[in-house]
Structure 1
């Protein structure tokens, strides 16, 4: 029995997807990331081959073939009419580059992650083309939107779509009427107060009386068990008692970084806390780079516990196929 399936990761970011698969015993073979600062963070935490640079320029044949290909890829529209008429509208489109990897490597599993709105992107055309072209290659296709607070036991409102596809040629009969079993919802036992640092942090994260927004913060931020957002002209309380969706633009000016009320004053979440809200534990190393980059990386990342649960279910399918194949072999031997 195969005890270690290999993973190749495109658009790896700081390794949220990699971490989730690693947590389930998968072997990380290689990864690719374009952002140089994300690469610095990635290298602090993983020791396998990281190819830094534009995925469009990657020589696929130079990389080891893998069992699982993962990609949290940028979402782009397709010229559907042009595509179906045979026009060359593939250039520069990231999804078509992923398909090049699929065609060259024929992974057992394709794991894609994107924003929830991928389903309705370009009036649904983008999603339909993705489904059509994956199925055309004789892969299964299952997709579902999962929220971190419901599937990761982390108090973070973050909805993302996950697409899971298996190579049907692994076992034609097994995958004939196959439907991937996504994880069930689970209760949220962690609270915001379990995530935030309960001691004084560096002064740079606090908003003192010298800041123009201080009167607004003082008037609105009255609870220490919730998270607030400063919107330039007003302060909004998040009444669901979870962290609002962390965004990639948190690092630009700091206005999008969620705020909390502490015994030491009003402050924004630290990068460490933002990584915690994505399910990274404190053993995950944050390098000495500008905090704006760390905020961006946390906002761009996936939630590790959600990936871990998906990876666990993927492993169950692969193991089932292998056991069935072994059983068939023994019967005919």
Structure 2
């Protein structure tokens, strides 16, 4: 039976948040930009927790719990939060993972998240969020998404589902799914939104699930360019550029289509950048270059196929190197994140496994805060009503 008890928010001026699966704290950065105070965080990964402490330091207003959340209980959590954020592991759900779904060893941690929310009882936050890869929508023919929505329903939440790509804010292709549970959903619905594409409509059509489609402002259009603004400017003699032999090997693996893609840019008098991933095609390792001026999706740095290369083109030259840890941070909207003293692979793993800061900030400002203040969609509805009446 659903638990519909509501939580009383004590401070709407600076509402508090809980950060589950915190990683390196990028959800915290976005929520803080939106006006929240993250008071409690948890992650099982020691290397990510090291990065978290390295950036945020220690504060009496915040507690970071390092360890397996299955060892935590409701009484271990603060009781005054307005929002719970959970970026559960995507390994068992992503196209690059095992696709075993929510029953997988890592993605199944979602059920621990749901358990802890249940154990909070009447102190449960009025907003609960789950962030994951778009693969959650299709995993087990949509059954995993329905199961997650149903779990939130049993905790007293109606659920909205959005798909937001980071490239609406930063030139990195990084689509992610967001389940947003509200104890008090808006009565007004929005049926047409680019954030709810046709392929996710199955969940809203399922009458056994309690869902809503909150009215939201039009999000920024996906960026088609701008990568060069996020790339570190390195002189030709920087040791991180590959030598001639390695660069020639890179170029030799390119298909005719891939080679022609960069050849015109190489001949140009204007400098430009592209990114590339190494793929295995017909049993052979080859490089594939993105056609647009946007980074591919940042991934955890495990092996050569996960690492992204940067190509600088122009004035008859083609220079290649690996993407740097600082570029990883910048392309996640965390340009000023403190990575001093950390191992490069540690940094790239942390950022490649994280949520994009500006996406969280946008949701915080346009969804979470209005929901807490009871104004979600009201201004938008009033504007649309006035336009309709005027016509």
Structure 1 residues 109-118 or 173-182, which shifts more? 173-182
CA RMSD of aligned residues (A): 3.2
Q: Give the match's secondary structure for 2:293.
A: coil
Q: Which residue of 1 aligns with 2:364?
A: 311
Q: Give the match's secondary structure for 2:234.
A: coil
166, 175, 197: which is aligned to 2:182?
Answer: 166
Distance in 2 (CA, whole Å) between partners of 1:267 and 1:92 is: 33
Moved beyond 6 Å, runs of 4+ = 89-92, 171-177
Shift of 1:227: 1.8
Q: Which residue of 2 aligns with 1:272?
A: 326
- Aligned runs of 1:281-296 on 2, under 5 Å? 281=335, 283-296=336-349
Shift of 1:183: 4.9
Distance in 1 (CA, whole Å) between partners of 2:128 and 2:352 is: 24
Pairing 1:49–2:67 present = no
**Structure 1, unpaired ranges of 5+:** 80-88, 325-333
Pairing 1:181–2:215 present = yes
Distance in 1 (CA, whole Å) between partners of 2:17 and 2:297 is: 28
Checking the alignment, whether the CA contact within 8 Å between 1:78 and 1:125 is kept in structure 2 is: no
Q: Give the match's secondary structure for 1:93.
A: helix
Pairing 1:197–2:232 present = yes
Cα 1:239–1:29, aligned 2, differ >3 Å: closer, same or farther? same
Shift of 1:50: 0.7
Shift of 1:229: 2.4
Pairing 1:93–2:108 present = yes
342, 354, 363: which is aligned to 1:301?
Answer: 354
Pairing 1:229–2:267 present = no
Distance in 2 (CA, whole Å) between partners of 1:26 and 1:300 is: 23
Pairing 1:13–2:61 present = no
Q: Give the number of equivalent residue pairs.
A: 307
Shift of 1:290: 2.0
Checking the alignment, whether the CA contact within 8 Å between 2:225 and 2:293 is kept in structure 1 is: no
Checking the alignment, whether the CA contact within 8 Å between 1:142 and 1:180 is kept in structure 2 is: yes
Checking the alignment, whether the CA contact within 8 Å between 1:155 and 1:191 is kept in structure 2 is: yes
Checking the alignment, whether the CA contact within 8 Å between 1:207 and 1:214 is kept in structure 2 is: no
Distance in 2 (CA, whole Å) between partners of 1:91 and 1:293 is: 19
Q: Deviations over 1:120-156 (max 9, x none)?
A: 1122111111112212332110001111112xx2001
Q: Give the match's secondary structure for 2:321.
A: strand
- Aligned runs of 1:117-266 on 2, under 5 Å? 117-150=135-168, 153-168=169-184, 179-187=213-221, 188=223, 191-200=226-235, 203=238, 205-211=240-246, 214-217=248-251, 220=259, 222=263, 223=265, 224-231=272-279, 233-248=285-300, 250-253=301-304, 256-261=307-312, 265-266=319-320
Distance in 2 (CA, whole Å) between partners of 1:118 and 1:32 is: 22
Give the TM-score normalised by structure 1: 0.82
**Structure 2, unpaired ranges of 5+:** 1-10, 93-100, 190-209, 266-271, 379-391
Shift of 1:94: 1.6
Pairing 1:60–2:74 present = yes
Checking the alignment, whether the CA contact within 8 Å between 2:310 and 2:322 is kept in structure 1 is: yes
Cα 1:173–1:184, aligned 2, differ >3 Å: closer, same or farther? closer
Q: Deviations over 1:85-121 (max 9, x none)?
A: xxxx999932221112221221110011000000111
Distance in 2 (CA, whole Å) between partners of 1:181 and 1:275 is: 31
Distance in 2 (CA, whole Å) between partners of 1:201 and 1:180 is: 51
